Structure 1
Amino acid sequence: MQSYLPREKGAVVMDPKNDIELQRTSPDRTIPSSTQKSRIYPTDDDEVLIRLGKRPLLNRSFGFMSILGLSCSALCSWEGILVTSVPSLLTAGPAAVIWSFVVGWVGITSVYTVMAELSSIAPTAGGQYHWVAMMAPKSCSNFLAYLTAWLTVLAWQAIAITTSYLITTTLQGIVVLAQPSYVPLPWHTLLIMWASILLAVLINSTTGRFLARFEGLILMLHLAGFFGILVPLIYFAPHNSASFVFTTFFNSGGWEAQGIAFLVGLPSIASTLIGADCAVHMSEEIQGAATVVPQALLYTIFINGSLAFAMAITLIFCLTDIDAAMAAAEAMFYPFLEVFRSGVNSTTGACVMAAVVLVLAAASSVGVYASASRMIWSFARDDGLPFSGKLVKLTKGSSLPINAIFSTLGIAGLISLTVLGSAAALSALLSLIVASLYSSYSLVCGLFLWRRLTGGFHDAGDAEIRPGGLLWGPWKLPEPLGIANNMFACLYSVFLLFWSFWPQTVNPTPETFNWSILVFGTVVLFSVIWYIMQARRVFKGPIKEL
């Protein structure tokens, strides 16, 4: 713990009796430790962290609009649907894209509502694994928290690499669109990926204040760019009929029933709205985190869901020649580039529109890498990673987790080398995202439901709070709506996790096989073995006072 650097806000002192840290926020006031039973939910951000057993070390540079900008841009939803719609479109038809998105939007809204309640209770950078440790039975709390942390850390690293890969291939697709003689080579892809990774890391290495202002600007570009793409397609592109868009299904994967074809394409569409929990992992840098983080989660899902839904409908309406779009994708990576060109009937216009998507995708990588590095920093703070003592160090003055940021650079740079091999190898790594994040969501939602049904949470004004009881945060759903939503979130998380392991076709090749089950199983097995052999001796969970 000596590697932590206290913030300039005040000196950190220790309670000699129970080793609980006290944060002096002014010369005249010392925040009490969380072992003292308060009847009022703490309103000071640092006091909330201390109640949870965490030292307030990071500068709180983010307000509501800046963290909303970070989460909206990191989610990259309307831009992402241009890519994630392809598997469902090919497997189950155009209508499957639309209705899969509706199902995914409803489901993820329910899940993030649960996470909004939990982020109000415990707004820490650890997010899911901190909540699991907080709610799980004592006998298995450390192990479940450790497993959840590993899955979340690796998922965010995979999201970071995925974002860089999408940026790279979009840029190469634009070049092919403008100059058809260009042939993208694997080493071209690798170098561009490294450049995009370096750019995201450099921006993250400035200051929290600059990052907050940057994300506020990106929010405006995110909204303006949407209309910059939508309006030309609506006005200039030829359109399909409404029946084609909303009622045309087909089964090209060889499945026994149309319903199965629909469901195997659901996870790819649902991934468009995954990752809004980046706001959670930035909690310790947000002012008023107990209320701002829940608001940012739900506003992000509403805004990005609306934009992505509108873009999905527009894309399918303008996809008048599916065969031509898919054929062009073999050279340009993504069908939407051909849709842009045929829609505005101009290569230059299509390149400009695609450049808008490229810039916003590059901007989204900044928020993604910020969240990925904070997860590493948080897990290292609890001695869950190798070299934890190095990874938790902060810069003086700006209090940035600089070693965690650059470790993300190193991990992404190394894993990106897989592009020099087969596409299946990279696909296997990237398939970790949906499976790992939804497994953590499932565990969190299940434990939360168990806790709230057994009276594990209490309002701040309750006269009696039994030992082990937890306080509700300032933001929560009223009952019985909260329980009903929690139940639905559990069902949806398990449901999507199950379908995330299915391939798109009955007889997949190594290139089309869904490697999620192999990668996910390997990560879980490694985590269990490493926990038994080593981690259980050093990892004692993030919760110190419950």
Structure 2
Amino acid sequence: MANNSQALLKPATKSKTALDDDAQLRSLGKRPRLNRSFGFMSILGFSCSALLSWEGALVTSVPGLLNGGPAGVIWGFLINWAGTISVYAALAELASIAPTTGGQYHWVAILAPESCRNFLVYITAWLTTIAWQAMAVSTGYIIATMLQGTVVLAQPTYVPTSWQTVLIIWGAVLSAVVINSTTGRALARFEGIVLILHLAGFFGVLVPLVYLAPHNDARTVFTTFVNEGGWPTQAMSFFVAFPSLATSLVGADCAVHMSEEIQSASLVVPRALMYTVLINGSLAFAMIIALMFCLTDLPSALGAAETTFYPFLQVFSAAVGPSGACVMAGIVLVLAIASGVSIYASASRMLWSFSRDGGLPFHRHLVKVSNNEYLLSQTSLPVAAILATLAITMLLSLVALGSTVALNALLSLVIAALYSSYLLVCCLLLWRRTTGRILPHISGADTLDLGYLSWGLWRIREPLGTVNNVIAVLYSILLLFWSFWPPTTPTTVETANWSILVFGSVVVFSVLWYLLRARYYFKGPIKEA
């Protein structure tokens, strides 16, 4: 018994891999403070569940039928999938160079010219932090409304209310807090299980849907375009729906923000990014094809959105009846809750990282971690950032009490904010690589020494790397441009796309705060001792 107690009081001996990871992190100017509990499979499960691809496709593809029709949804998704692969391939190269929790803003720090480096770093950090906080709220909102819609399906007399939506959001985020506040090892095991459920749940929904629902013919599915938004041309209608189809592929960079808790991060993070977007893109595309074949009554599906929130619930009901539809919706709901755990972890790590570099108010408190270096069963966790994310989510969810339009505007911030950060880092990477300012991989190089930059262990060889980089930039511009368009014309207050207002407010606030205050104290990623 005494020997066991003494063993518990001895600090854990780190493996060579962990020492190499810590050495690379120190070369990036950061002191290792979190335990590396994630391997490849656990972080793959983490990012696959956060991406919520085939589940998200059920939510986003049916509304996309109004602008584009079945063919528009299918071909629009394929274009988005190809563009997303290109963007994440560029991000994977950067994640291999600098695998830190800060992600985009740390990459801007090592890529941007010195004359505007701090300003660009600060803006990028704000956009990424706000995007992940908004994503945490949006996931809670989807969980709440999906649960309410399922209850309506089972009990048609039930009338959902906004205060119930808020309470369910709070319950969902509290469950995510509980799991995130355990240990890194427990979270890693949980995500490994979620990966299995993510794949099994896909077949649990797809098989009964395909076999039991009435079907459209292939010509209707692949060649029918629709323009219900009142746009002058079918092409414009297609592109108005384009960003909504991209939302089911947003969030794979969650693995980036867990980099300091991943073993062999410079290789595992890039691989997780690519495998996630390939696996989840395939699942989402298969689910969209199945849904388009089974959506034989579009008016009824769209009309059901007024009562059940999501048209796919009506499609399920038409296929297997209300009881079976509740079971299928329950599968999607469980996986959405699991997604909330991953998104919540990434949001809190991004908040913690920005606080570590002194960029947020109360950063001295937000950067605190729970730590006991003697008990092997415990790990270091950014508890303060986790609780702060909980508070932010609970406060922002109160917007639903006043206006769902205002809440939807907040949720639409996710694509605009994330893809603006992607666009910036992809442009800077393209500038660096075309001017020959990135050297071959150098083991142990200090990447915070901004006089030079060397490739990581994972990269795309030239000339394919440059070609892919150009495609990533063009796709990000295209998606950003159309993300601010309203779904219909003429536009009313209820149908307007308020994301431009919310996004613009965040950018203006960030710029003004930087000019008035932050430029005097924020110096980009701090080099810790």
Q: Shift in Å at residue 347 of structure 1?
A: 1.4
* 1:179–1:246 distance in 2 versus 1, CA, 3 Å: same
Q: Shift in Å at residue 431 of structure 1?
A: 1.3
* 1:519–1:178 distance in 2 versus 1, CA, 3 Å: same
Match status 1:137 vs 2:113: yes
1:327 aligned partner: 303
Asked if structure 2 preserves the Cα contact closer than 8 Å seen for 1:329 and 1:335, the reply is yes
1:423-502 mapped onto 2 (5 Å cutoff) = 423-460=404-441, 468-502=451-485
Asked if structure 2 preserves the Cα contact closer than 8 Å seen for 1:239 and 1:318, the reply is yes
Which residue type is aligned with residue 484 of structure 2?
A: F
* 1:325–1:399 distance in 2 versus 1, CA, 3 Å: same
Match status 1:529 vs 2:495: no
* 1:239–1:396 distance in 2 versus 1, CA, 3 Å: same
2:361 aligned partner: 386
* 1:48–1:256 distance in 2 versus 1, CA, 3 Å: same
RMSD across aligned positions (CA) = 1.9
Q: Shift in Å at residue 153 of structure 1?
A: 0.4
State the alpha-carbon separation in 2 of the partners of residues 229 and 257 from structure 1: 36
1:36-435 mapped onto 2 (5 Å cutoff) = 44-344=20-320, 346-397=321-372, 398-435=379-416
Asked if structure 2 preserves the Cα contact closer than 8 Å seen for 1:377 and 1:401, the reply is yes
2:522 aligned partner: 539
State the alpha-carbon separation in 1 of the partners of residues 280 and 501 from structure 2: 31
Q: Shift in Å at residue 87 of structure 1?
A: 3.0
Asked if structure 1 preserves the Cα contact closer than 8 Å seen for 2:47 and 2:254, the reply is yes
* 1:188–1:450 distance in 2 versus 1, CA, 3 Å: same
State the alpha-carbon separation in 2 of the partners of residues 371 and 491 from structure 1: 27
Mind listing any 5+ residue stretches in structure 1 that lack a counterpart?
A: 1-6, 11-24, 32-41
| SS class of match (1:320) | coil
* 1:385–1:234 distance in 2 versus 1, CA, 3 Å: same
* 1:377–1:52 distance in 2 versus 1, CA, 3 Å: same
Which residue type is aligned with residue 125 of structure 1?
A: T
State the alpha-carbon separation in 1 of the partners of residues 286 and 155 from structure 2: 31
State the Cα deviation string for residues 150-209 of structure 1 (Å, max 9, x = none).
000000011111100000011001100000000001111111111001111111011000
Normalising by structure 2, what TM-score? 0.94
State the alpha-carbon separation in 2 of the partners of residues 98 and 449 from structure 1: 30
Match status 1:510 vs 2:493: yes
Q: Shift in Å at residue 533 of structure 1?
A: 1.1
Q: Shift in Å at residue 8 of structure 1?
A: 5.3
Asked if structure 2 preserves the Cα contact closer than 8 Å seen for 1:142 and 1:539, the reply is yes
State the alpha-carbon separation in 2 of the partners of residues 470 and 461 from structure 1: 9
Q: Shift in Å at residue 86 of structure 1?
A: 3.0
State the alpha-carbon separation in 2 of the partners of residues 417 and 543 from structure 1: 35
| SS class of match (2:62) | helix
Asked if structure 1 preserves the Cα contact closer than 8 Å seen for 2:369 and 2:383, the reply is yes
Asked if structure 1 preserves the Cα contact closer than 8 Å seen for 2:442 and 2:455, the reply is no
* 1:408–1:43 distance in 2 versus 1, CA, 3 Å: same
Which residue type is aligned with residue 487 of structure 1?
A: V
State the alpha-carbon separation in 2 of the partners of residues 203 and 62 from structure 1: 15
Q: Shift in Å at residue 58 of structure 1?
A: 0.4
* 1:240–1:156 distance in 2 versus 1, CA, 3 Å: same
Which residue type is aligned with residue 233 of structure 1?
A: L
State the alpha-carbon separation in 2 of the partners of residues 482 and 378 from structure 1: 29
State the alpha-carbon separation in 1 of the partners of residues 437 and 150 from structure 2: 54
Asked if structure 1 preserves the Cα contact closer than 8 Å seen for 2:62 and 2:312, the reply is no
Q: Shift in Å at residue 9 of structure 1?
A: 5.9
Which residue type is aligned with residue 407 of structure 1?
A: A
Q: Name the structure with the higher helix share.
A: 2
Q: Shift in Å at residue 538 of structure 1?
A: 1.6
Asked if structure 1 preserves the Cα contact closer than 8 Å seen for 2:442 and 2:454, the reply is no
* 1:43–1:122 distance in 2 versus 1, CA, 3 Å: farther
Asked if structure 2 preserves the Cα contact closer than 8 Å seen for 1:380 and 1:391, the reply is yes
Which residue type is aligned with residue 488 of structure 1?
A: I
State the alpha-carbon separation in 1 of the partners of residues 323 and 135 from structure 2: 31
Which residue type is aligned with residue 472 of structure 2?
A: A
| SS class of match (1:142) | helix
Asked if structure 2 preserves the Cα contact closer than 8 Å seen for 1:133 and 1:543, the reply is no
1:4 aligned partner: none
| SS class of match (1:457) | coil
Asked if structure 2 preserves the Cα contact closer than 8 Å seen for 1:134 and 1:543, the reply is no
Q: Shift in Å at residue 507 of structure 1?
A: 1.4
State the Cα deviation string for residues 312-365 of structure 1 (Å, max 9, x = none).
010111000011111112100011111001012x21111100000000000100
Which residue type is aligned with residue 399 of structure 2?
A: T
* 1:544–1:453 distance in 2 versus 1, CA, 3 Å: farther
Moved over 2 A (4+): 7-10, 464-467
Q: Equivalent pairs: percent with the same residue? A: 64
Q: Shift in Å at residue 271 of structure 1?
A: 1.1
1:22 aligned partner: none
| SS class of match (1:264) | helix
Q: Shift in Å at residue 512 of structure 1?
A: 1.2
